[in-house]
C-alpha cells in the first residue's frame, strides 16, 4: 500500500481497517449512499481489526499529560456500571411475531450489519441503515417492519441497572464508528470462544461499545435544532413514563386519571399525545400491553391461565380470554399449545 511516495507492508485486515476509517470520516462529512454501500463491505465481508496505533502519536499525547495535583485522587463516574447477563444472537429473517408489539425487561442493542430496516419504539418509527444501531430500553413497546429481503442484524441483549449515561441513546438511531465496529467484532469473537476470560471480555467490551455510542448520541442531540424536535422528544419521554407506570401496575386496574396525574397532564391531553404517537386510544393501548405481557407469561411460565389473567390485571379468566381472542385471534390455551408445538 502506498501513500505520498511511501510504501507500507500491511496485511489485508490492516488495509481494510484503514479504508474503513477513511470511509467513516467521508460518510460523516458527506453522508452519501455510495459511501454507505462501501461501508457495508467493510462491516460484513471482512472481520474488523483493532485500530492501528501510531507510536509517535502515543508518545506525543502521553507527554502532554499534566502533573497530578494529588496522587491519590483520580477521576471516576459513579453513574457508570457494567452490563451483565449478556446474550448475542444473529437474525437473517424475522417471523410474523415481530410485526406485533412486544416488550421485555432487558436492554436490546440492535446492530444493523446489512439490509436497512425500521422499528417502531413507543409508537415512533426509527429507520436504520447498515453501520447503525438502535438501543431498545426495558419496558419499551416495539415492533419491526419486516423487509422483503434477507437481513443480517446482530442483537445484543443485556441487563443493567438504570443509569444516566445510557439516556442519550433513548429513541436514537446511533452511528457505529470505526472503533465501535472493532469492539463489535471482538464481542462476537468473545461470545464464540471458550476462553476463561470470555465473560470479562464480553462485559468490558460491551461497556466500552455502549460508552462510544452514548458519546455519539450526545453529539447528535447537540445538533438538534427547532421546537418540533423538542416537542417530539417531550412526547417520547411522556410515552416512556406511561409505559413505566403501566408495567409497574400491570396486575392492577389502571384509571386514566391516575395515569395522567402520574405524568403531570390532564387526562384529555394525555389521550391526545398517546393517539398522536401510536394511532390508537389509551385504553386500547393499555389492553394491548396487558395482552403482550400475558403472551410472554403463557410461553415462559407454567402458570395456569387463571393465574396469568389476574397477574395481567384482568378481573376474571373469562374477561381475559375474551380480550385475548379479540386481540390475538386465539384463546390463551390455543396460543400456548400452538406455540409450544412450533
Model pLDDT for residues 156-168, shown as the tens digit of each residue: 999 987 677 888 8
- Indicate the average pLDDT of the chain: 78
Q: Is 171 exposed, middle or buried (0-12, 13-18, 19+ CB in 10 A)?
A: buried
CATH superfamily of 84-222: Regulatory protein AraC (2.60.120.280)
Q: What are the residue boundaries of the structural domains of the chain, listed by start?
A: 2-54, 84-222, 227-341
Q: How far apart are CA 125 and CA 233, in angstroms?
A: 13
Closest CA to 245 of 268, 269, 264: 264
Average pLDDT over residues 169-179: 88
CB contact at 8 A, 305 and 333 = yes
Name the more confident of 43 and 312. Answer: 312
pTM tops 0.85, yes or no: no
**CA dist 218 → 107, 153, 211 (Å):** 19, 24, 11
Top-tier CATH class for 227-341: mainly alpha
Give pLDDT, residue 120: 82
pLDDT of 257 strictly over 90: yes
Q: 3-state secondary structure string, 124-168?
A: EEEEECCCEEEEECCCCCEEEECCCCCCEEEEEEEECCCCHHHHH
pLDDT digits (tens, 9 = 90+) for 40-65: 334 333 344 444 456 677 777 778 88
Cell numbers 462510544 correspond to 212
% of the chain exceeding 90 in pLDDT: 27
Average pLDDT over residues 66-79: 75
Amino acid at each position: 500500500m502506498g501513500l505520498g511516495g511511501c510504501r507500507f507492508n500491511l496485511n489485508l485486515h490492516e488495509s481494510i481497517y484503514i479504508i474503513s476509517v477513511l470511509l467513516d470520516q467521508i460518510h460523516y462529512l458527506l453522508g452519501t449512499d455510495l459511501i454507505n454501500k462501501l461501508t457495508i463491505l467493510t462491516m460484513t465481508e471482512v472481520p474488523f481489526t483493532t485500530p492501528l496505533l501510531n507510536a509517535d502519536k502515543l508518545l506525543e499525547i502521553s507527554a502532554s499529560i499534566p502533573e497530578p495535583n494529588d496522587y491519590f485522587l483520580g477521576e471516576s463516574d459513579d453513574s457508570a456500571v457494567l452490563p451483565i447477563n449478556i446474550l448475542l444472537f444473529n437474525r437473517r429473517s424475522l417471523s410474523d411475531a415481530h410485526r406485533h408489539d412486544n416488550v421485555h425487561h432487558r436492554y436490546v442493542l440492535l446492530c444493523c450489519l446489512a439490509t436497512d430496516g425500521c422499528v417502531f419504539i413507543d409508537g415512533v418509527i426509527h429507520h436504520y441503515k447498515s453501520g447503525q444501531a438502535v438501543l431498545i430500553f426495558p419496558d419499551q413497546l416495539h415492533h419491526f417492519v419486516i423487509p422483503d429481503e434477507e437481513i443480517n442484524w446482530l442483537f445484543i441483549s443485556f441487563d443493567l441497572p438504570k443509569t444516566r449515561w445510557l439516556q442519550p441513546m433513548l429513541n436514537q438511531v446511533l452511528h457505529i464508528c470505526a472503533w465501535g465496529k472493532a469492539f463489535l467484532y471482538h464481542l462476537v469473537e468473545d461470545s464464540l470462544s471458550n476462553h476463561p476470560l470470555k465473560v470479562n471480555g464480553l462485559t468490558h467490551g460491551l461497556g466500552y461499545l455502549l460508552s462510544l455510542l452514548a458519546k455519539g448520541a450526545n453529539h447528535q442531540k447537540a445538533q438538534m435544532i427547532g421546537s418540533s424536535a423538542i416537542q417530539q422528544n417531550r412526547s417520547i419521554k411522556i410515552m416512556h413514563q406511561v409505559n413505566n407506570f403501566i408495567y409497574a401496575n400491570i396486575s392492577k386496574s389502571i384509571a386514566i386519571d391516575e395515569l395522567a396525574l402520574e405524568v403531570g397532564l390532564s387526562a384529555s391531553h394525555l389521550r391526545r399525545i398517546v393517539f398522536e404517537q401510536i394511532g390508537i386510544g389509551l385504553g386500547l393501548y393499555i389492553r394491548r400491553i396487558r395482552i403482550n405481557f400475558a403472551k410472554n407469561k403463557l410461553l415462559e411460565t407454567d402458570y395456569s391461565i387463571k393465574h396469568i389473567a389476574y397477574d395481567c390485571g384482568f378481573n376474571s379468566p373469562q374477561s381475559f380470554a375474551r380480550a385475548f381472542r379479540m386481540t390475538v385471534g386465539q384463546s390463551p390455551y390455543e396460543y400456548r399449545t400452538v406455540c409450544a408445538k412450533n
